């Protein structure tokens, strides 16, 4: 590798900084607006630096909107979806990875194609089914609907991780008298822990971002709204209170950004696992 000239180094850093600044400006703008005094939002020219940050906006949000409830509902849905899809996904992925099953290939393809289903089509029959089961307005409806996307995804991602673990590990455990299920739980899962964590977090992210299912199944029962439904409604109702909306958006985005910072190094494997593996 040839050494870069000082000018080249400067060029690289200038380009990187400029690119990041341009691409991340909306995130900065969200934070800035959230902290701006309400009266400043209608001033020209806009201010690009928070010289008078209003931290009270978050307390305001909790006091005037059922924000805590939205957050709680979103967490409940995300955790339930995560547990459900991980449980089902681990078993299926392990079977697909270790056993040569008839129809295993076909199932793999099915899992893959399920990613391509238009969700707005699926939501119609699901609505009819949930209506007859009395699930409309319950958080479970959203959990089940999200599983249509997340279970196949988690299965495929986990299969990728299981494929990297040598089968000799369980064989040794089986020889020592461990049951097949015991071998999976006590030997394979601990080794696959990073993969499990990545898949769980990924499921969490997908669930957290859902809007369609929550919007369709939960709109009529306000006590069950998730963050995304709440924020979308705020945008429709209080068009002028942009600082409140941005504060809510910021709090909704922070957990996912946190997960992303942790997950980034696993992301490439996970995102591409459904496509070219």
Partner 1 sequence: MIDFSSPRHRAKFGYLLLAPAVLMMALIIIYPILLSVDISLQDVRIARVGGDREPWTLENYDWLVRSGEFWNAVWVTAKMVLTVGGISLAIGLATALLVNQKFRGRALARLFVALPWAVPEVVATVIWAWMLDSSFGVVNWALLKVGLIGAPIQFASNATAAFFAVCFVMIWKGYPLVSIMLLAGLQSIPEEQYQAARVDGANVWQRFLFITLPSLAPVIGVTAVMTTLWVFRDFAIIYVLTQGGPIGSTTTLSILTFEQSFSFFRMGQGAAVGVVTLVICAFISRALVGRFANSVH
- Specify the residue, 105 or 221, whose C-beta has the smaller distance to partner 1: 105
φ/ψ bin of 24: left (φ > 0), alpha (ψ from -120 to 50), beta (otherwise)? alpha
CB of 63 to partner 1, least distance (A): 21
Q: Let me know: does 170 contact 187? Beta carbons within 8 Å.
A: yes
Backbone angles phi, psi at 239, to 5 degrees: -60, -25
State the SS3 of 78-94: HHHHHHHHHHHHHHHHH
Cα-Cα-Cα-Cα dihedral sign, residues 126, 128, 129, 131: positive
Structure tokens at 54: 């209003």
| Residue where the block lists tokens 């996904």 | 89
CB of 237 to partner 1, least distance (A): 12
CB of 40 to partner 1, least distance (A): 10
CB of 194 to partner 1, least distance (A): 18
- Specify the residue, 157 or 252, whose C-beta has the smaller distance to partner 1: 252
- Specify the residue, 15 or 223, whose C-beta has the smaller distance to partner 1: 15
- Specify the residue, 63 or 109, whose C-beta has the smaller distance to partner 1: 109
Q: Identify which of 204, 207, 208, 166 has the alpha carbon closest to the alpha carbon of residue 187.
A: 166
Distances, alpha carbon 96 to alpha carbons 21, 29, 178, 203, in Å = 44, 46, 21, 20
CB of 83 to partner 1, least distance (A): 13
- Specify the residue, 67 or 242, whose C-beta has the smaller distance to partner 1: 242
CB of 56 to partner 1, least distance (A): 20
Instruction: Give the N- to C-terminal CA distance of the chain in Å, as an integer.
Output: 31
- Specify the residue, 222 or 235, whose C-beta has the smaller distance to partner 1: 235
């Amino acid at each position: 590798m040839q050494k870069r000239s000082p000018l080249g180094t400067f060029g690289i850093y200038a380009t990187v900084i400029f690119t990041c600044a341009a691409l991340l400006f909306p995130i900065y703008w969200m934070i800035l607006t959230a902290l701006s005094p309400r009266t400043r939002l209608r001033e020209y020219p806009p201010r690009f630096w928070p010289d008078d940050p209003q931290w009270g906006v978050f307390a305001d949000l909790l006091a005037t909107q059922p924000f805590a409830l939205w957050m709680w509902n979103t967490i409940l849905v995300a955790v339930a979806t995560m547990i459900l899809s991980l449980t089902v996904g681990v078993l299926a992925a392990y079977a697909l990875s270790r056993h040569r099953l008839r129809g295993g290939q076909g199932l793999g393809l099915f899992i893959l194609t399920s990613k391509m289903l238009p969700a707005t089509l699926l939501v119609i029959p699901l609505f009819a089914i949930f209506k007859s089961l009395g699930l409309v307005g319950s958080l479970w409806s959203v959990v089940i609907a999200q599983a249509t996307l997340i279970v196949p995804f988690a299965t495929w991602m986990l299969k990728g991780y299981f494929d990297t673990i040598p089968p000799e590990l369980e064989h040794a455990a089986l020889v020592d008298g461990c049951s097949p299920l015991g071998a999976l739980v006590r030997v394979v899962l601990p080794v696959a822990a990073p993969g499990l964590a990545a898949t769980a977090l990924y499921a969490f992210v997908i669930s957290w971002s859902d809007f369609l299912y929550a919007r369709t199944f939960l709109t009529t029962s306000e006590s069950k709204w998730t963050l995304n439904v709440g924020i979308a409604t705020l945008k429709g109702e209080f068009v002028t209170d942009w600082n409140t909306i941005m504060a809510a958006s910021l709090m909704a985005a922070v957990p996912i950004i946190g997960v992303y910072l942790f997950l980034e190094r696993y992301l490439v494997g996970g995102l591409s696992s459904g496509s070219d593996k």
